[in-house]
Amino acid sequence: MNTQLTELTRALRDLHKQLINLETQYFGAVGSPLEHLQLITNHPHFAWLQKLSGLMTQIDERLDDPEPVTPEEAKAFRQSLEMLIGPCEEGDQEFRAKYNALLHDGPELVMAHGAVRRLLAAI
């Protein structure tokens, strides 16, 4: 399970990066990389992405634990991610609305989404 989750975290980082890139385009000029980081972490325009960031952090922290990830833990991470990006119907509708809108705007995001979905399907 650790190997699968490690692959998933790599794919999630790319997905997260693509989401930030698109949201930054819509936000406008951001200035320096430090100012950009401040916007991403503190500005309301980017706040919805914190749910995904937080989940990524939880997975990374669990992978840092010396004990192997159990199949049940991996499935719980999968369900949490599916609540955000689909296809879980009772998911986070606010996040999903913003996420789905961006999926229509960037082929790189669609590719990153597909990579995450493939890895989730294997868990």
Give 29-44 pLDDT, tens digit per residue: 888 999 999 999 999 9
Place of tokens 């990374």: 60
d(CA 73, CA 75): 5
pLDDT average, residue stretch 45-64: 96
pLDDT value at position 58?
98
- Cβ contacts of 59 within 8 Å, gap of 6 or more: 5, 8, 9, 12, 77
Give 69-115 pLDDT, tens digit per residue: 999 999 999 999 999 998 877 889 999 999 999 999 989 999 999 99
- Position 29, amino acid: A
d(CA 7, CA 36): 27
